[in-house]
Structure 1
Amino acid sequence: MSAGRGAPVSARAAGRGQPAAARLTAERRAQITEAAGELFGRRGYHAATMRDIALRVGVSPGLIYNYVEDKEELLLLVLDSLLDAYASGIPAALAGLRDPLARFAAAVDTYCRIVAERPEATLLAYQESRSLRRSLREHIKRREVETNALIADCISDGIAQGLFRPVDAELTAYRVVMMAHGWALKTWRLAGRMTIDDYIADSLEMLLGALLTPLGAQRRAEAAR
């Protein structure tokens, strides 16, 4: 979980430094977070126990409390790690790309693939974020707005260059996000019909069909030659 933003990093550490992180290597913390995400996703947040998570990681049930205080802290870690993936993955995918169409496609592709790689965490964001205390829910909401802005900025750039219609960039970014989340929400059906590559390609075709101006369509056709 990122501490550089000055946001709460855990239920216990929020506003008081990072005592848990100081006692845990990055590798072990990632293992605990991954195990918690898997078990919360499969059994449900309330049904999965700290003992289950400790045993999955290979530490004693008592020892896990040296690293995290409770399940709320673990849930926050899981959700924050997903947002970290968006916050680092999208800028990395955009690095070196100048064309707004290419940047938009890269942002959508990256977001969708993160959802496909971490479906349990995506579902938890829908199902269990309400289990967090209010201050931590607000933290997650702020980070969601920040990561969605990475997509909205690509849309705004396309509008500024006359390639996209003058849509509401933030609203359109949320539509992109909901489309991406659809893979996790309906994997039971979609995965039997298509690959994630097909899903992304089909979704991009639909999005660009709604967004492109005549100039944007021309630019896209030229790039495809």
Structure 2
Amino acid sequence: MLKTNTIFATIGLAFCLLFGGAFTAYGSQPANGFFDAFEGNTIVGWGWDSSTPNTAVPVHVTVTNKDSGEVVGDFKPTAGTFRQDLKENGIGNGNHGFRISMDWDSLPDGSYVIQGWIEGQEFENTKTYVKGETAPAEEAAPAAEEPQQNSGMRSLGLFRTTAYCPCYKCSEGWGRHTSSGATAHARHTIAVDPRVIPMGSKVMIGGVIYTAEDRGGGVKGNHIDIFYDTHAQTRQHGSFMQEVFLVQ
């Protein structure tokens, strides 16, 4: 009987690991893309699929006139250019960058929105280029989406949000390992003060639902550290106040 129970327990554990891993992979949204700062007339970014980390993947980028809605640029490059910063931050083998030349001079004055997709998943950010102003303008941080009544969300109030990544400066050698044992993923993992937000809680920040999977020595009280893939993204996020909603 003891051996039979051991066999059933082993089978049950195998199923838990199999299905648990499947749900984790699904929830982490392995396809991920990001736009970096403009370099003159060049749109710079990267994209990768963590399920095939060393494979260059195609991305889809559009440039749209914000006022008229006209698509003035439609590009489908392969994100396969090597970047040392990507390799150092654990983005596969680093061959996941792309560069697109955009002839802004041929376009009329106005605002242009740059959006990207990888495998149907929209990039983490959009860019806005303003022609006719003194300098190109960056897209402002999106405001938090106001949850509908009885939507199962409760406001926790305003929190200071900062950002961290797998680099040594941010994670001190921990990389993507978290205090909960989970693997950190962008648009999924946050570090919190467990006395304020219990580990495992799901919260919505700026329209994105995150899971509290990590903690940090400098994360105290109403402070949330949001995980990103690269240090350039953490610098772009900066530090600002956002309303946080508990997903119940």
Q: TM-score, normalised by structure 1?
A: 0.29
Bigger share in helix = 1
User: Which structure is higher in RCO with an 8 Å CA cutoff and minimum separation 6?
Assistant: 1
Q: TM-score, normalised by structure 2?
A: 0.27
Bigger share in strand = 2
Higher Rg: 2
